[in-house]
Structure 1
């Protein structure tokens, strides 16, 4: 029996839940009715007991009666009746108290808690649905905005493409380009440069070593200058002089200051916080190491955080790369008098930027909507399971209340045992499971069928999502016949079945009730439209991976067995005719029906059925398991276009799966053969339409032409001749063609079929290519029945295409009879069907020469140019 979790789903989520909560609120009212009955019965028993207690005192007030007759029999009878009145009053008051203690008080508290639980669930789900609907509306608006931006960009590109163009395409002049190096320090750090520091000269390599040692041993710090801000990578003049005296053999402070001044002149240091650029031995003067020193030495430069680094040049030449952080710099950097964040942006760049921003917003909103939908479905699934338990508890509570109610009366008053027996009978008739089944059978709104709102790329790309995307589009994006998500899941399960203990655990993988939140967690890891590693599955248990495949099939826009063939399959199982009552005939009809599906659907269905039939065979599954597996997978394989109360009770998808489990090899081997031979037939048809080369052998041309004319005249007799064809020759420029219309319904093959292949009405359809005789020229049978190929190009009959020479004067009936004569002589004994003028007809045991009344040959010989 299905539960709440699989019974109250609709496309908008609110309709199904509205039906459920209306029934649950009805249960709340039923609880009040039961409580009202118990409370009023207790009050009635209390009033009745009080009235009975008033009888004895009222009788005792009458003086001079039975009080004077102590031993009379009449006195004893009166006392007995009086005592019964007193005892009756006590008993009825006890009944009233028992009803209050056992029924009214506990059941009233339980009813209030039950009503609160129902109302809380309803409020929470309503809020979630409102949030989901609001996000869906936001997605629609962002999608419309994104598409409008894309159209504006396309219009701008078209305008730029055709605007301001010279009518004459003139070659573009070769304008020499002057390339300016962005690295201003590149020339400075040349290998040939020589640096004069103090009394010594250093080449670039030696200077690099010296600078590296300096930057690693001299103390670097940040120096804060009022108003200007904070300078980074600075060192005090005294620290630099101390280093020069220790490591560069500076004998005096003045010589060290001269070395420091050379470092300033070479562009390695600069004075900060003061006017000028003089080096001095002072602990209060700070010098900043320029980027040139860091670039030449290779020591990483300390830079401020992103967004807070600005250039504060000390002079007009090379101060653009020195970092300084401060309030003044921030104020100047953020100063924008035009209030335009993109000051140098052209209109075209602005449109493209707005398109990218709209695309990002739309994509983000779709992901947020998908997360909201998943959370909503998880909440609905949890609440539905909880509400089912609440409703079952309510029905059991009413059953217990009636039992206690009847016991409170029956244990005290055996006199009213008949009424108690009736109440017990009523109590026995209550069946909580049956009432729950009745609710589900009469008020179900639909199975769990999630409706995914996918990201629709303006350029029809599907590389952003995996779930909810059309099956063929997903397979085409994966460049596979079967989508990679399906093959990855099935392969992973095949490899991990041996890890489970026992066949029962392996079979139970597909029947485990996996929480929807757990399946959604795995779905979120692989729902990016990209290839993924199977190691993602290792984070979850095997039943969750199997549940992911079922969720993927449920979220497809159309079921694996398309809803277009649902009516055909329903008619097949609802009204099995004598031709489809047997398994063999029904398999043939299934083959023809499934051949109408797309190749991607057929290949995916074949892969799934391979997996399930192998699992059933290897684990020796019994009939009960096969039935449970088919029931669990039926909504994933085939669903109607619109779910109604009638389709919910139909078992056609279950029966289809049982037939596919039983006849899997027969069905899919034939479908594969149809697909392969359909492709071969298409290639053969295309080759047959190529213009045949004109024969160069003219030795027997006249003999063959006379023989052909003689055979035509024998069949034609005295028939009226047709006007001469204006065509100059076979396959010439003026050749006329004719296209036949389809006479009857023909099966849709899984492969590509030639548009010139036609099927005779009433002929049994073949799953392979149409077996027929295709000639590129008229065949004349020889003496031994061997056909002789005519080399003359005067006349050609191929399929539905007829070309006559200018000398041919034949009527339509003459042509048909002449062709029948040729077909009769050149019979194919092993071929189960023959082709007559491009149409496949079954072999009839009646002679071909016997006329058939009003038989439509499907051929009309008329000269008119081809449409294409």
Structure 2
């Protein structure tokens, strides 16, 4: 039996996990095709120029001077022969001139016009895909990352505030925290504590303390007298004599406690206890700084500071003088900064627009650059727009990043005063500043309650952003699918157009004299050997980046384990956490088993059941089998995916809300089968786990090791099945249940349908269609992409034969 393989196309070869890498590789090859078109046009025009020059030489022979040579011959046969050869040479020149005109007007010009349109379409598509769709998606990813960071930080802050409230003493004042209680330090009744008479030793100690207090009072009186005498001394000299403790920035000076104060016992009042206790330290490590997004590229603040430090050392910083404002040091233009970012930041991919967007973010959003000589702080990509680095640009991620003074003209002071102008400049809206202050002061809620509400609000925003990002990802995948199909059609049209223009070129040159017939024949053979379809296949095989591999965006919560989606889940968490749903009978009540749990997610059971019902509506068995083979557009599959994501999570949380019976009615069997494959493809990790890729790959080291080999001994077959069984035993139980449910359905389909196509061929097609949804590596590499040994397909064939009985 001939080995079947999945036909190669752009749609199953140029995907990547970040969606950008595969598309960039494809557009690079298409740009190479644009350059090939220009070279073909230049080659044909060069030949036309050569033909024109040859025609000019043949049509204008050198003239014969009178009185010498043929100019003195009166009619000899040599003269007639020579004149005839000149006429024939002129005729040949006219023939070459006609060839040159045909090459220009009938071959080069039409193809050049078509090639220019192709070039414009490719570059417009590149701009739309890379600079609009992907950039928007990457920016959304960065926003979701920020929201997740804020959610984690606010949750951590709320947890710490709750811990502080649990251990803080109650003040019993008008602003009591009624949410926590603390032990009282005194009894509530009026009786005083029991007292006893002092012993002899205690009375002696009390007498000694009284003598010490009198001595201390006399010393204090003497010091007061000396202080009156020192009132006229300079203030600087008195400060030198006093031992002080500077709290920093000259805010306060604290006197060193006397030995008497140091030796006194600690106060037992609530106020003193609260004042003397050291602050509680958080057991959790500090949160990492929030990443910064520059034109879709996420960088930590420290890396941004390092980048700007390097830019400050490599840019041509120079002083610039402005009328009435003065001279500013260390200035550079916006054009210089954009050019430097484009050359030194590889993550921008050489895109000047992304470098400009990054410079704009650094200036307008982050305030790391200062516009010189103009109002506002807008960024312009111009050679007459001047900027300075602010000091905080070099200290991001450090403790000094928030307490930096702005740059000023040379000779001005760097001291920053707290003025109304500065407050307005920072908030840009005085009304917002006042409203925020009033809202903060009028709130009577305890700190930990307010912090918990902020954490819940951040949790809600993060959840909504993740769902929106996942829907945006689905739309991006659908657009990329249509774009890849369109680009493949364009490339095939280009390759066929190239062959057409080469045939026209060959046909034009075939009109030359018979002496060139051998050359024409060899050119004909070369052009006939050119096959556009083979070239397209070779391009895909050489530069493919991987099959379709969706990266599902899933909401991750640290406070609860419930999932709000049924796609992109982790089966192990589903089995361990609260995601397991009870077995439900068709009428919505619990089954007779009572209290049993579903072995597999309910959405998979529902899709397989709906698919079995769709089989009964099909005309013949051949259509039933093709349901798993058809290539369904992503738009239909994503539509059913979103419907299931909106229905099943709500059904799992509320058992009294049954699943609609007509949920799958609008969808055909191929769409439901494709959605099952998408559900398997989005599982993280896959059914056979990422470690299973290496395990099953070892079982199929050579090409051609399939389930049944003609003449294979039973011992070899049993040994092979034992190896597959050992690999399956390493999988978690829930993964085996899911695999068993899918394989059981497929085996039933094969056994209950009869077609002219042999079962072995159909099962091989099933393996090509479903194998990568079951078995795939964690990261696609060039080795796994170019793997000539289809371990995924062969392993699936063996799993298809053994897994159900094994489970």
Q: How big is each residue's C-alpha offset from its partner over 1:119-148, in whole Å with a ceiling of 9 and x where there is no partner? A: 111111112111111111111111111112
**C-alpha deviation, 1:68, in angstroms:** 6.1
2:467 matched to which residue of 1?
Answer: 367
2:761 is equivalent to residue 624 of structure 1: yes
Alpha-carbon separation, structure 2, partners of 1:572 and 1:581: 16
2:53 is equivalent to residue 42 of structure 1: no
1:199 matched to which residue of 2?
Answer: none
**C-alpha deviation, 1:408, in angstroms:** 0.7
Contact 1:152 1:351 in 2 (8 A): yes
Alpha-carbon separation, structure 1, partners of 2:572 and 2:650: 16
Alpha-carbon separation, structure 2, partners of 1:171 and 1:145: 45
1:172-211 pair list within 5 angstroms: none
Alpha-carbon separation, structure 2, partners of 1:60 and 1:363: 97
2:233 matched to which residue of 1?
Answer: none
Structure 1 stretch 442-451 or stretch 581-590: which is displaced more? 581-590
Within the candidate set 713, 720, 724, 1:590 is matched to 724
2:785 is equivalent to residue 651 of structure 1: no
1:84 matched to which residue of 2?
Answer: 88
Larger RCO: Structure 1 or Structure 2 (Cα < 8 Å, ≥ 6 residues apart)? 2
Are residues 93 and 337 of structure 1, via their aligned partners in 2, closer, same or farther at CA, if it must alter by over 3 Å? closer
Alpha-carbon separation, structure 2, partners of 1:438 and 1:337: 63
Within the candidate set 577, 580, 583, 1:478 is matched to 580
Secondary structure in structure 2 of the residue aligned to 1:458: coil
Alpha-carbon separation, structure 2, partners of 1:377 and 1:17: 12
**C-alpha deviation, 1:525, in angstroms:** 1.5
2:118 is equivalent to residue 114 of structure 1: yes
Contact 1:462 1:469 in 2 (8 A): no
Alpha-carbon separation, structure 2, partners of 1:337 and 1:657: 62
Q: In structure 1, list runs of 5 or more residues that go unmatched.
A: 174-334, 673-868
Contact 2:743 2:804 in 1 (8 A): no
Alpha-carbon separation, structure 2, partners of 1:582 and 1:350: 69
Structure 1 stretch 532-541 or stretch 415-424: which is displaced more? 532-541
Alpha-carbon separation, structure 2, partners of 1:439 and 1:573: 27
**C-alpha deviation, 1:155, in angstroms:** 2.5
Contact 1:14 1:129 in 2 (8 A): yes
Alpha-carbon separation, structure 1, partners of 2:693 and 2:454: 45
Are residues 337 and 54 of structure 1, via their aligned partners in 2, closer, same or farther at CA, if it must alter by over 3 Å? closer
Secondary structure in structure 2 of the residue aligned to 1:535: coil
Q: How big is each residue's C-alpha offset from its partner over 1:200-237, in whole Å with a ceiling of 9 and x where there is no partner? A: xxxxxxxxxxxxxxxxxxxxxxxxxxxxxxxxxxxxxx
1:530 matched to which residue of 2?
Answer: 650
Alpha-carbon separation, structure 2, partners of 1:172 and 1:502: 88
Contact 2:614 2:668 in 1 (8 A): no
Contact 1:462 1:473 in 2 (8 A): no
Q: How big is each residue's C-alpha offset from its partner over 1:532-579, in whole Å with a ceiling of 9 and x where there is no partner? A: 435222222221111111111111112211121222211111168999
1:89-168 pair list within 5 angstroms: 89-126=93-130, 127-164=132-169, 165=181
Within the candidate set 447, 451, 455, 1:351 is matched to 451
2:643 is equivalent to residue 520 of structure 1: no
Alpha-carbon separation, structure 1, partners of 2:493 and 2:36: 14
Secondary structure in structure 2 of the residue aligned to 1:642: coil
**C-alpha deviation, 1:497, in angstroms:** 0.5
**C-alpha deviation, 1:161, in angstroms:** 3.7
**C-alpha deviation, 1:596, in angstroms:** 0.7
What RMSD over aligned residues (CA atoms) do the two structures have, in Å?
2.9
2:381 matched to which residue of 1?
Answer: none
2:628 matched to which residue of 1?
Answer: 510
Q: In structure 2, list runs of 5 or more residues that go unmatched.
A: 1-6, 170-180, 190-433, 582-597, 652-658, 707-711
Are residues 505 and 37 of structure 1, via their aligned partners in 2, closer, same or farther at CA, if it must alter by over 3 Å? same
Alpha-carbon separation, structure 2, partners of 1:406 and 1:441: 30
2:9 is equivalent to residue 3 of structure 1: yes
Contact 1:66 1:75 in 2 (8 A): no
2:500 is equivalent to residue 400 of structure 1: yes
**C-alpha deviation, 1:438, in angstroms:** 1.4
Q: How big is each residue's C-alpha offset from its partner over 1:680-718, in whole Å with a ceiling of 9 and x where there is no partner? A: xxxxxxxxxxxxxxxxxxxxxxxxxxxxxxxxxxxxxxx
Are residues 58 and 148 of structure 1, via their aligned partners in 2, closer, same or farther at CA, if it must alter by over 3 Å? same
Alpha-carbon separation, structure 2, partners of 1:171 and 1:462: 47
Contact 2:158 2:451 in 1 (8 A): yes
**C-alpha deviation, 1:53, in angstroms:** 0.6
2:695 matched to which residue of 1?
Answer: 568
Q: How big is each residue's C-alpha offset from its partner over 1:435-477, in whole Å with a ceiling of 9 and x where there is no partner? A: 1121112111111111122110112423312111112323551
Alpha-carbon separation, structure 1, partners of 2:478 and 2:489: 17
Are residues 101 and 171 of structure 1, via their aligned partners in 2, closer, same or farther at CA, if it must alter by over 3 Å? farther
**C-alpha deviation, 1:40, in angstroms:** 0.9
1:410 matched to which residue of 2?
Answer: 510
Q: TM-score, normalised by structure 2?
A: 0.59
Secondary structure in structure 2 of the residue aligned to 1:58: coil
Are residues 641 and 398 of structure 1, via their aligned partners in 2, closer, same or farther at CA, if it must alter by over 3 Å? same
Alpha-carbon separation, structure 2, partners of 1:361 and 1:92: 75
2:22 matched to which residue of 1?
Answer: 16
**C-alpha deviation, 1:496, in angstroms:** 1.1
1:836-847 pair list within 5 angstroms: none
**C-alpha deviation, 1:69, in angstroms:** 5.6
Secondary structure in structure 2 of the residue aligned to 1:512: coil
Structure of larger gyration radius = 1
**C-alpha deviation, 1:347, in angstroms:** 2.6
Alpha-carbon separation, structure 2, partners of 1:64 and 1:48: 26
Secondary structure in structure 1 of the residue aligned to 2:664: helix
Are residues 338 and 11 of structure 1, via their aligned partners in 2, closer, same or farther at CA, if it must alter by over 3 Å? closer
2:722 is equivalent to residue 604 of structure 1: no
Contact 1:24 1:118 in 2 (8 A): yes
1:819-858 pair list within 5 angstroms: none
- The count of corresponding residues between Structure 1 and Structure 2 is 505
Q: How big is each residue's C-alpha offset from its partner over 1:89-117, in whole Å with a ceiling of 9 and x where there is no partner? A: 11101110111122111110111111111
Alpha-carbon separation, structure 2, partners of 1:356 and 1:93: 82
Q: TM-score, normalised by structure 1?
A: 0.55
